[in-house]
Structure formats: structure tokens, C-alpha cells
Structure 1
Amino acid sequence: MSAFRILCVVGARPNFMKMAPIMAAFAQLKPQVEALLVHTGQHYDVAMNQQYFDALGIPSPDINLEVGSGSHAQQTAEVMKRFEPAMDEVQPAAVLVVGDVNSTIACALVAAKKGVPVIHVEAGLRSFDRAMPEEINRLLTDQLSDLLFTTEESGAENLAKEGIGGERVHFVGNVMIDTLRANLARAVPAARIAADAGRPDFKAGKGEYAVLTLHRPSNVDDKAVLQGLLETVANISASTPVLFPVHPRTRATIEKFGLSHLLDRPEVLLLPPMGYLEMLGLMKDARVVLTDSGGIQEETTALGTPCITLRNNTERPITVDEGTNTIAGNDPAHIMAAYKAQLAGAGKAGRIPHFWDGRAAERIAAIVLDWLKARS
């Protein structure tokens, strides 16, 4: 019998961390499975992408669609236009997508319309906020999918409420945690990152500093909201120095709104976007992480690092119910209250959720192979 060909799609950097262990798990099933990697080019910084691929040991993409930037509609449409010929050439047994970016829904939609089964890793997550483009991508991708893998048990409950049968859903754990566990020993210490940034004097030992990441439009596109957040960060830095890897989009809005002066202080160290091992090192030893990222909520829970989420909701409730995450929104008073609780030792200790054991990808690969055999 010939190998089952699976097209595995990545588009943005959060996808890379999820796909690395999946590709490795499928590689163990050769020659029964042939996994081909498609990079849509949604995140199109070539040097940054290569840094992630090298750090995570991801094989070079078999197909690169080189889509680039654009509005949500433009990017989604361009991925669809370029993915269809790739599918026609490969004739896969299935298309596997991860996460909730535009590439995820675009490739799932093309596959479903062509009658090719869709496998969705990280299914069932819901913020219940349809103003988030990612929420739309999650909802639609799950409806199109034939096989759905969840990271937490609430995922199956969400899918059941949306009419998705339990026979299609498998709780396997979190592939991002597979990647984290595999790379933790290689994490770059925060002190080295600070020194490389020209600040060897910066307090960056274990438990000495905070980390900030900020990129969501709801936080960075409104001057008043962004100003309030940056003023809060400046206040926090007076007692806990802050390392801030600045997203290019965030940097542009800070400059556009004339807010750079708020961070012009020795206790705030602005950094360029970080590679995976650098970001892992920053999170691992931080006293607290402040973020509006979804993945970082999960990673900090796995690391046992307190996290304050600068959003009003989360699609990863297990990080709040069992992990180290506190939802604070973007209100300065709520953020400072959460920070002061952490400073006083009243922050969350959390615990590691079930199946966040570094073996989620192995479970996925085994289930996919059995499923493909049953269909053939």
C-alpha cells in the first residue's frame, strides 16, 4: 500500500511551535505516512521564520506559497488561490491545519470544497468574542473539519454545543507544550538577552524581572488604550524591571501616537522580536509575564510562571481554571491589582493540566494513521 500523504499547513510563527512535534511524530510513521509541509508565507519575515525553523528542527517546507501581508480578506483569498494548485499536484489523503490564523481557515476551506478531509489541531477553543478575527477562524475551521484534536476538555464541550459529533473529537493534549518540554534545556537566559541588547547591568536573574508582549489591535490601535497600558508598564517597572520584545506593528503605533517617551526609562528594556528559544528563556525565569497572546498563556502555565492577560477574555480557560493565568483586561487599575497580588505572593501557583506531558503529537499521529487506514 502506498503512503498516506498529508499536507501539513503552517502560516504564522505560533503555528511553527505547534507543527514541529507533529512533523517529528509523522516522521516516525514512515513509510506508512508521508507528511509534506506547506508554508503559506502569512508571516513573511524570512530571517525570523528561518530562525524558528532552525531552532525547532522543522524541515524546510516542501511547498512555500509566499503569500505575504494584506488585509484579512486579501490574505485569506490569496492563500486559497495558491493552495489549490498545490493540493491538485499532491493529491493528499488529508490536510492538517493548526491554530486559528488566516492560513488555517483558508486551507481548510479549499480542502473541504475539494472533498479532502480536514484535520484540525487545537480545535474547540473559544473566546466567545466574535470581534476577534481568530474566533471566526476557529469556529469555521472546526465546522469544516473531519477530525478534531483538543488541548483541553472544555474544547469537546464547545464543539458538542455547535453540533460536532464526539466521534470526530479526540482530547490529546497540547502540542505547544511538546515543543516547550523538548526545548526547555536550550532556552536562552534572560541575562544573556539583556547583555546582547547592550544592557549587561539590567536585572534579569530568576524572579527579578517582568516580561511584556503586546500586539492585539484592541490594545495597540487605540491611542488612549495603548497609553494607559504603557503608563501601567512604566509604573510596574519602578519595582520590577520590564523586558519588552516589541512587535513591529506595536512599535509603529507607539511611534505614530508619540508615546515612546513613556518607555524611555532604565527599568524598561525594549527588545526586537525574539526567537523561540529566547522567548522561552524570558518566560521561564520571569517573576510575571504580561501578555495579550494566546500561546503565552499556555506556555506560562506549563512553566509555572504567573501570567497576567491583557484581554477581557481567553479562549484557553484551562490556564485560568488550573494554570497560572489571571485575566485583567486592559484597565490599568485591574492590571495593577493583579500585579500587586503577585508581588505580595498572592498570585496563582497553578498546576500542569492533564495530557500536557510532551506526548500530544505522538497521540495525534497514531490516531490519524488509524483513521486513515479505516477510511481506505
Structure 2
Amino acid sequence: MSEAKETVLEIDLGALAHNYRYLRSKLDKDVKFMAVVKAFAYGSDSEVIAKKLEELGTDYFAVAYVYEGIRLRKSGITKPILVLHPQLTNFEEIIDHCLEPNLYSEKILRKFIEIAEQKNQKNYPVHLKFNTGLNRLGFSQKEIPTIYKLISETESLRVASVLSHLAASEDWREREFTLGQINLFRKMTWELIEKLDYEPLLHICNTSGIINYPKAAFSMVRSGIGLYGFGNDETIDPHLKPVGKLKSVISQIHHLEKGDTVGYNRAFKVEKPTKIAILPVGHADGINRRYGNGKAGVMVHGNYAPIIGNVCMDIIMIDVTDINCEEGDEVMIFGGDQHPVKFAEAGGTISYELITGIQRRVSRKIIEEKS
């Protein structure tokens, strides 16, 4: 009998350390490392992950929103924290908690200068986002003179870094486009730097950029998904270790006869004597309905058990007809013998969506790094 008592996400800090060291090994020693811990550290635990990464020596952190940065500050994180998508209403909080905003339009640049001057700031670190082709956030090349004019007219801020974001660094079919982005970024940054009397950090590489375009590392790189064990490339994934394992437990076993049905809308119809197991996890925990009706499955004692019927809010049902198992036994939803990428692909999605979708009501268990 397994000791599992509930659905739990195990967070392996040893795997995190392995991934960090692997990615670091791809960089020159003087290149700084920004660890992306947005979305609760990609669905795990942002405070635990950030503390471990700070211990490992990361130079910077990045979050999406201000409240994520505040959470890290309150947990004791002292390294610089970049807020990738700050909103105008949060600028005072950014300064109050020593966070660093990513400024991506003339409007927010002007507003941050205004707030910084009101709060008597001098050389407050900010980051400038350049749009090189992803066409999300970012200044265009023609706005560089305006950027410089606004910066040169105030002592309230200092540019800590200039960044951009690669659109398809994992896709070799888009190599020409990616190289075009890198070259445009180089041109835009030097156009600005020539006007400044100092050189900020420069970064455009994400995880796939680190692997596929190491010469574009500039002075810093950003890694998110790679830290959590995914390389967006089947040749890289074996070198990384997924940080999270989602486990559950068999709550009940039913023996069904031909003609019985299972779950909402009677979506699964029994055609022969069938043994099913009930698990305490559902779409409210992050296992989307797309995984039901045989699309995906879980591992029970190393054996594959398909999810049958529609995924419920708090429950999934699996077919364990040919598996020797009992109520209370542990079930591996993803991790171990079932790589999260494989589980995600079975549901027609990607690892990012799967792991960031694991809800907060799922218990977290921290597995410490082995010394």
C-alpha cells in the first residue's frame, strides 16, 4: 500500500538545481542569469523556488505582475526583481517594494518618471522593452529618440537593462526570422547606448535562445520553462529534469458490468466487465476536460490507465481493469514514468499550460536537494 493520502504536487529542488546548473553551463561566466518565477513559478511555489534560486546564485528574478514581486519581497528575497507587465496603478507599490518596472510605451515611461520624481527618487532602476517582432509589448525603433529625450531630462531613473523577446527561438524553421530579431535588437540597443553615458544590461534570449543562439546571450539571459525541466526540444529535454510531479490516490474502486455508464452525460459506456478507480483530482485542480474520454491517462504501479468519461470538477475516473491495485494506492498523473510533455500532448496542449494550470488547492510537497 502507498503512503499517498491526497492529490499532491511534489516540487523537487534537486531537479531545479540541476536545470539551473545545466543552463548556466551554456553561458560565458560573465553573462548574468535572470530566473523567471512568474505564475507561482510556473505552477509550483514561487517563494520556495525563488529562495532556492537565490541560494544557487541567480542574478535577477522576473515576474509578470507587481503582486508577484511583492510576494517575493515579503518572503525575504533580496535580489533585483523585474516586473515584466506593470500597470500604471501599481507604480507607487513598485517603488515602495524596490521592484524594477519593464517600461514599454511612452505613456508608461512618462508616468513612471512622474511618480519617481514625486517620490524623490534618483537613478531608480528601470528596464526598457524593445519590440523586435513578437508584437506584444515594446517600443518601436522610431521611438528611441523620444525615449532618450525623456530619460535625459530626469535624474529620477536609470536604465538597468534593455530587453526584447524572441518569437520562435525553439523553431529552426524560423531561424532567419530569429536572427533578424537579434540583429534588430542589437541595432536598436546600440542606437540608444550611443546616446547614454553608460551601458545597461542587454537581454533577448529565453530558454530556447540560450540553447540555440548562445552568441546572442549579450550580458544577461532569461530562463523560465527551462528551469522547471522543459527545453522545447526533444534533444534538450533529456538533459533537464521536470521539477514537478503530480500524484494522486485511489479513493474508490468500482466493478462495472456491460451496459453501465460512467460520469456526467454517461460519456463512457461499459462494453465488457470493467474495473475503474476514482481519483480526487479534476478540472478545478488543473486537469482540464480535454484530457478525458481516453485522450490521456495516468500511471498506476508503472501501468498506463486511461482517463474515462468526462473529467469532473473534483474527480477523474480511470480504467484499471488489468492493473493490480487497491483503494489508497498512489497514482502518478505526470512525472516519473510519464513525462509532463507526453501528458500535455495527449490533451492537445503544451507543457506551459499544463504545469501553470495546477491550482493552489493542490497540496505542495517540497523535496529538498540531496547533498
TM-score by length of 2: 0.32
Name the larger-Rg structure: 2
Between Structure 1 and Structure 2, the one with more strand by share is: 2
TM-score by length of 1: 0.31
Greater relative contact order (CA < 8 Å, ≥ 6 in sequence): 2
